[in-house]
Structure 1
């Protein structure tokens, strides 16, 4: 028996289709229905306010989302369940205020939420730790690293002792905070006691917490890669994902040599595992990185070897993609004749396949290569995450 989606699930489905206005209208009607049924200030009304706030938050309408969360928090709880819901509403309010940059208000709401959670759950319950983690993140953002460290250590201890899965995100935040403190302490501790899936989640969470514009993110991510290699192995997908993130960060921070090295490690892993198509994509990323590092000769050599890889696989769309990128690199290097030859081959290969979009891209690249328009530049390319 299938379960009908909730209104908020339908709203998010509409948002995924780009129908933001329809999603908002749906939740506004739900709020009005709850008001008509149960009255303003009721638990049902508060729940609908929260749902509307969440949709608005994801539609980048922060001021209106904050207003909805404030309404939700204002509703007096009538029983244990509505009291628990109110704690969630306050957490949402504090988080939304933080996103809006209203850090004083955010800290006040999050601290009040921690106090209320302590009173409701007790110090040993995971529900208490759920309020500590966002407070620690806010304190780190405000530069209060010692305060953030104290709060996150309590959250980690709570979630660890209770065996709760959210210990992964808390440990990730702890690593970021310890790194910010510059004490030289180990960032990742106790991993041998954790299941593989929890360690993988820590890796994902750390990469999500990184500030790509902060040079300090690079040594943190390097430490993460080393920890994942030791715990899960050099060929584990979590390790490769972290290396891919390190490569992308190298581009943002202007470290072409570090970017090249990270991609070479991913490529070597795919070759060891016999993952041929992933190896082709990594090799394309390596060629782009070498080009951006100013080593055009190495890049063209990598494109040539990557083309041979793609031919061995025998998938026309993949071969076309490699030839297209190779041709564009040749054009940028002033090799007009070889460039046009490779791009013509890219069109021929694409037409052998079933991907009409790939045909269009190859034709556009060939047309631009043949154009005499002055000032055209190929758009910047980035290597996707592993």
Structure 2
């Protein structure tokens, strides 16, 4: 075969191995066209690749066959054993070897393992040497992020095998996307991979095939580096110019992750793995690889890898057609994610991807260290130390001065937003303050430039200037890079300000950054870390990431209970925060229990009239309402409202939110006049204090629409909700639980108006969102099922209606006690479905009466 045809076969092979095994034959057939010789060569490469390793990440192909003969382990059947290992099923196979899921079942130990062995006595000396080399490499490695070697031996027929740790997980890129890991969380995971690669390098082993499918992450969240099938030892006695030659192995490379020297067949050093790590980092951050290749164009592959500079990660994201989905998978937005990647992260990735090995990071450790410096807010080595860069770090080193200036800016921000609680609590020694007084004056003048960008209406309390001012302050955070402790404090304050403005995504990003700084500074168990977690949880709740919010609150409680084993106000505050999240996500009974636990602890630590007790009473009311305990919820809301009026004075936002909740429960209790009074006052306060698209005002509109429905004015309810729906989608995203509330209430309005065809889509969408974000069996999910069942009934879709309503009934009856109001509605609706089997007489749902079910 000519060199040109060989390169083409290699290119097709490289693209094929990145596809699932089931898709490879069709792909190879298309790529090879009418060239049977080329097809045969590619098939041989694929077979050799399977034999070289990489099976731990393969899916189950087939169960073990029935018993057979010889030394071929696959023929031994389901009861086959090799030493103490019982083979369970085949995980994968290549040209000469097979990997099985096996169980060690003897008196010493019982565990699942992956067992790799040659499949036939026809295996030649080279295949045996290759398997032995892989076994020796694994035997020399003992690291938590590298699949471990457990055992080795030979079959009765003399075939070698070895036993490895069985990894049950998914590729690191898929894991990060499925769990919607933020950039900071992805960097944490990637640094663990770097640690594994560093360890291999320290043991004179170069992996040579680092890519997502060779790094699995399981339920524990620990990445595992796999497949040392083409790894090689570095001979410490050789000079750098005599290191690993890759020509014999070039056919096994994955071009998208291979370094230029690997493509050229030049000597390989540890910096070749650094290049592959750079490609992986690019993909984790930007959602794509630097290069994508046509497998049928080998010359183009070589040209691009050897000559074309890879794009910056931020630039690749900006032009990617799926940038919205990529950003969502990172809990971000395209523009914000691009800004986050631009700058130091772009430069770090670019340095790892240099064409010349000497210009890359010298080791995986250096790459990981630069990422650690980035996450800690320190200067990175990938950035040229320009005068401006050094000057920014000089400013950052003046801790008190910058903190005072930023405090000044953030306090003005709070004033502009009408939220006076924002401040930075600075406690420093008097002599330090005197020594840095001049720096404070200089930096105050510097930050005065920020204020010049604000709207002249700043003093009026308008929200837009406040947003501009906070964004400007956030943009200046880089000047605190050399002092991550103060930087984290400022980030925390800005995150809370973003939250107060209803800018939840920005708040999440700021609190994630603060959390990363504090974890680096203090470790994972510090009180400051728990504070960042609590703030992050509240921001995630606002953004609609209910699972992420709950996880953050539970981590906060664990940290604080470890620090303060008994009663403590910080522990009570964390319990209260968890109750807030559970009152939104469910389960309702746990929300009530946690709220009561927080309330009891606060009462042991505080006076009865303290704000902590009052606020927790309000949260308990939310949990009681979610459980359907309407009378208790009303009484609790009234108690917290009375105390807030006495302590806060008129016009406070907490009074408005309390009135909103009270009005909501009064609708369910048919006290429509009382509900109107409460909601009118709440609307007056919120209109004066909050932007039109603020989360609280959207919630208020939902309750006002419920009041309109209760009064029989479904048209007004529909108009209000349709106006808000697009606003909510653009502001909060299509999958937010507030959007579900809007759509459910809108669907009910259409049912009352006699337009079930218009109700179907919003009701179906509301149900889908609730099923996605709420706890299983939540009353709001059941309520959406009931409304959808009624809609299907009105549309004549009787089979669907029967199934939907029975599902709702099943969920209700699984609770103890079931919600009587919802159960009654379900039974009435089922009574109208022919053949439903319900013995309860139907009572038609009134087209004018109000439907006040929980939303």
TM-score, normalised relative to structure 2: 0.24
Structure holding more helix per residue: 1
Larger radius of gyration: 2
User: Higher relative contact order at CA 8 Å, sep ≥6: structure 1 or structure 2?
Assistant: 1
Structure holding more strand per residue: 2
